[in-house]
């Protein structure tokens, strides 16, 4: 078995994998399997993150449009996952490759131990020459169906397997300064080295009837990957031989180039960024923002301006600046009730208040429990 020193993760959206009638594009899967075999010859392993379970299961259950109630969505996912798994297995077998099905939920990765078990399993599959096909377990994962698609999952998997490249295939050829379907003179962006407010605003919303996500979820995933030191590409799934061409260094779509070297971010902090959904958020002032971004400091209660959500100590929180932009994520050092009382107060004031005095001895989020994007 050839040794493949590099690993590519490819995420395939529902609109690329399933047509408008809910039929799986078998020719697309067969072509991707052929590319996977060619990638092996070029020294690359492949991991697939596959959407499409709900979209392919809906017509089999008599739904002409995507249902909106949760039990029906879960039923569609359950049926569709069987169809998808069979299609992937047949496609890869025809190219002499072994595939496997890996279903992941937020619950699986929210716990540190489970996160590490998922990492070990995926890494071993890749080492054995298997092409893992990963999907969110939509049948039981309520949050995924309601709030997002598999773009964040692709970023998670890329970090789990220490990927050298993450490719997000979509029905659009990359990122523009605005939604090109609404703004005809929007300019294409070939390379992104920093995701600022203008990039986020330009992402807009390009979600379709088949999928659940838009360009904004792809940009958010790319941002996490840049923090992890992993380059990513957003490009059209209709591009011929796209994975092979990317593996050989050809410029296709929009490439997000990380500013720092790989492994600069500890695995624990990647888990904080990706392993669990945020249970609330803290809005901070400019002084606290500078301390986090420029000095690598902990987040102190004095810099907190607003607390959103109800959470406990140990829960994952988003940290937002005054514009609402998420600049970091971390583990809460105290509950929302305690932080509400402590927000904006200096250490001396907190120590003098017996209800929150214990918070005077530690920050709202310790820097070891904080990842800054």
Provide the token pair at 373.
Answer: 């994007």
Maximum separation of any 2 CA atoms in the chain, in Å: 71
Burial (CB count within 10 angstroms: exposed 0-12, middle 13-18, buried 19+), residue 104:
buried
- Report DSSP state, residue 297: P
Q: Known binding site for ATP: residues?
A: 11, 170-171, 212-218
Burial (CB count within 10 angstroms: exposed 0-12, middle 13-18, buried 19+), residue 369:
buried
**In degrees rounded to 5, what are phi and psi of residue 88?**
-65, -45
DSSP helix/strand/coil, 318:
strand
- Between CA 88 and CA 91 the distance in angstroms is 5
- Provide Rg for the chain, Cα atoms: 21
DSSP helix/strand/coil, 244:
helix
Q: Known binding site for substrate: residues?
A: 51, 138, 150
Residue from 12, 2, 29, 48 nearest 93 by CA: 29
Residue bearing tokens 């690359």: 44
What length is written for the chain? 373
Q: Known binding site: residues?
A: 11, 51, 138, 150, 170-171, 212-218
- Nearest 5°: the CA angle 324, 327, 329 is 110
- Note whether 331 and 363 are within 8 A (CB): no
């Amino acid at each position: 078995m050839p040794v493949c020193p590099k690993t590519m993760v490819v995420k395939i959206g529902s609109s690329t994998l399933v047509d408008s009638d809910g039929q799986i594009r078998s020719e697309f899967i067969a072509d991707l399997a052929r590319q996977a075999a060619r990638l092996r010859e070029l020294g690359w392993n492949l991991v697939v993150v596959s959407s499409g379970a709900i979209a392919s299961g809906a017509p089999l259950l008599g739904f002409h449009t995507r249902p909106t109630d949760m039990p029906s969505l879960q039923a569609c996912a359950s049926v569709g996952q069987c169809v998808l798994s069979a299609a992937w297995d047949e496609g890869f077998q025809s190219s002499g490759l072994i595939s496997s099905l890996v279903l992941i939920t937020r619950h699986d990765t929210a716990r540190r131990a489970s996160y590490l078990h998922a990492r070990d399993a995926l890494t071993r599959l890749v080492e054995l020459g298997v092409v893992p096909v990963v999907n969110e377990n939509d049948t039981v994962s309520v949050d995924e169906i309601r709030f997002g698609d598999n773009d964040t999952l692709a970023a998670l998997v890329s970090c789990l397997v220490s990927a050298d490249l993450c490719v997000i295939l979509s029905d659009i050829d990359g990122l523009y300064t605005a939604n090109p379907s609404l703004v005809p003179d929007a300019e294409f962006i070939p390379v992104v080295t920093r995701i600022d407010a203008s990039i986020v605003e330009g992402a807009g919303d390009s979600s379709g009837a088949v999928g659940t996500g838009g360009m904004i979820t792809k940009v958010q995933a790319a941002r996490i990957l840049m923090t992890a030191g992993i380059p990513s590409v957003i490009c059209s799934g209709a591009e011929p031989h796209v994975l092979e061409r990317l593996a050989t260094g050809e410029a296709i779509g929009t490439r997000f180039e990380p500013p720092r070297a790989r492994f600069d971010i500890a695995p624990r902090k990647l888990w904080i960024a990706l392993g669990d959904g945020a249970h609330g958020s803290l809005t901070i002032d400019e002084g606290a923002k500078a301390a986090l971004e420029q000095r690598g400091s902990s987040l102190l209660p004095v810099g907190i301006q607003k607390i959103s959500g109800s959470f406990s100590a140990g829960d994952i929180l988003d940290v937002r600046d005054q514009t609402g932009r998420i600049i970091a994520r971390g583990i809460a050092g105290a509950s929302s009730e305690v932080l509400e009382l402590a927000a904006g107060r200096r250490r001396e004031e907190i120590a003098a208040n017996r209800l929150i005095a214990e918070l005077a001895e530690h920050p709202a989020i310790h820097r070891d429990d904080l990842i800054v994007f």
